[in-house]
Amino acid sequence: METEVDEKVSVWAFFDGDISPIAMNWRRRLVKFERVIFSSARKVGDCRFVDLVCASDAANFQLEFDSNNYCWRVKKIIGLE
């Protein structure tokens, strides 16, 4: 089951060549990530967007990082069955 969200969130991440999200604050909950399942990047004009699918213990989250303004968004929640 997938749920479209598209909400701005605060994310803690390491930037060491690759982007590695550790956790996010979403709807007053701390969601810790276990690993990155998938990552891709695309350019729109001068802006670079990085899409990441991160696994937590409750669900998988598709995140988007905007390199122009350094903002994070939750795009989708992919429920575990």
* pLDDT band for position 80 (cuts 50, 70, 90): low
What digits encode the pLDDT tens for the residues 18-62? 899 999 999 999 999 999 999 999 999 999 999 999 999 989 999
Sort 17 into a burial class: Cβ within 10 Å, 0-12 / 13-18 / 19+. exposed
Residue 62's pLDDT is 97
Predicted pLDDT at 36: 96
Residue that the structure tokens 């996010």 belong to: 24
Q: For residues 35 and 80, which has the higher predicted lDDT (pLDDT)?
A: 35
Q: Which domain holds residue 37?
A: 2-79
pLDDT number for residue 1: 83
The pTM assigned to this predicted structure is 0.90
Number of structural domains in the chain: 1
